[in-house]
Amino acid sequence: MTERKVSANLALTIDGRYNGPGGPGDFGAIAPYVTTDVARDQMTRIVEGKTTGVLGRLNAEGFIGFWGPVADDENADPRDRGYANWLVNTEKVVLSTTLTEAPWDRTRVVDAPATEVISELKKTGEGDILVNSSASVIKPLLAADLIDRLYLIVVPEIAGGGQRLFEDGLPGTKWTLTFQETGKLGEMALVYDRA
């Protein structure tokens, strides 16, 4: 049995930030680009072959409120519905030190370091693992060199402040660009595999 592959996805500004100077809820630079065809096609791509979703607490709580209803919305874009259905129906692991119960079905809450949780998940189960848009989980996995594939949406804006995904001190690693697409607004969908 081969180890499960670990993928992660995130949207970033060209200065490498996943939120703006206003803090964790400041998505002003990214928001205009997440409903484009390129972004929606990337969203479809990220869930292919993934059987476990891993999220931080903030995303888990925010995602269920937003994506839960989309799964049943016949008027929603089919790509949005596909992603929403994957999110609702797949096994989910939420990393949290504060949650006492799972925020939705098919979910377990784990209070342990991301590196330990991912290392254990890689050895058990079938299908691949998606760390779903949760920088708090992705960062320690990058530091431990535990990510096999990165799905990035890079938007043509400089936030000028906010949190960065790639911080100083990461181990040097080599990646291969395996997919790229540019949208009409200048947003880019990129897929990098660990070389």
Write out pLDDT tens, residues 36-66. Answer: 999 999 999 999 999 999 999 988 888 888 8
- Per residue in 88-136, pLDDT tens? 999 999 999 999 888 788 999 999 999 999 999 999 888 999 999 999 9
Length of the chain: 195
Confidence band of 2 (pLDDT split at 50, 70, 90)? low
Mean pLDDT score, 11-29:
95
Looking at residue 181, its pLDDT comes to 98
For position 141, what pLDDT does the model report?
97
Tokens of 75: 């008027």
| Amino acid 90: pLDDT | 95
Task: Identify the pLDDT of residue 113.
Answer: 97
- The whole-number pLDDT of residue 81 equals 96
Distance CA 130, CA 138 (A): 10
What average pLDDT does this structure show over 157-186?
Answer: 96
Q: What is the pLDDT of residue 149?
A: 98
Cβ neighbours of 126 (radius 10 Å): 8
| Of 16, 9, 5, nearest in space to 159 by CA | 16
pLDDT at 79: 97
Widest distance between CA atoms in the chain: 46
Sheet (strand 175-182) strand order: 107-110, 91-95, 50-56, 128-132, 6-13, 149-155, 188-194, 175-182
Average pLDDT over residues 72-86: 96
Q: What is the pLDDT of residues 132-155, one digit of tens each?
A: 999 999 999 999 999 999 999 999
Mind spelling out the 3-state secondary structure of 7-69?
EEEEEEECCCECCCCCCCCCCCCCHHHCCCHHHHHHHHHHHCCEEEEEEEHHHHHHHHHHHHH
Residue 1 has what pLDDT?
Answer: 56
Question: What topology does CATH give the domain 6-194?
Answer: Dihydrofolate Reductase, subunit A (3.40.430)
> Residue 13 above 90 pLDDT?
yes
22 strand-pairing partners: none
Full-prediction pTM beyond 0.85? yes
Alpha-carbon distance of 151 to 11, in angstroms, equals 9
Q: Find where tokens 């630079």 sit.
A: 29
